[in-house]
Amino acid sequence: MTLFHFLTGPKWTQMRPEESRELTARLEKAALLLLKLDIYRKPDDLARRFGLPLPVVRYWWRNVEDQTKEAIPDRDLTPKQAKMIRKASQVLDSWEKVKRYRPECGAKLSNGKRCKMSVVIRQPEGWDMGALADRCRMHGGASRRVRKKKVDKDDE
């Protein structure tokens, strides 16, 4: 399921952890590309422009082996480089939609209904598990522990 289908689907569904990790990986790749091409001078500028958490972008940039920047004047951009920059900017712009239109928590309530609150955005330290948690704040999305799913003995 692509991000577009996820955001424009007829009914909000729960974002699976692997989808959240995939989204985070795409954000990281796009941010690092824009920083390496010197479109944004500092990670802080990029984070503020796209509404990403500052510690996350700083962490991504700090953990890159080769932090050399290749400043390319706009007039010397090849069409392929221009397209890469445009795509990276679009990926980072989609983060605003992800923040605004998060999936529902879906935890089962005592009255038999499902929780309609949106899932929480993880703290910067937890982004290695993905940007979005699988529950809202009330149902453990912001907790530090990792929730384990019950596995039946028959499945093993």
Residues of the chain with pLDDT under 50: 9-12, 156
d(CA 152, CA 156): 7
Confirm if 59 and 124 have CB atoms less than 8 A apart.
Answer: yes
Largest CA distance in the chain: 63
Whose tokens are 């951009």? That residue is 77
- Reported in sequence order, the residue ranges of the chain that DSSP labels E, i.e. its strands, are none
What's residue 29's pLDDT? 93
Residue-wise pLDDT tens digits, 10-30: 444 566 778 888 988 999 999
What's residue 109's pLDDT? 86
What's residue 155's pLDDT? 54
d(CA 34, CA 42): 10
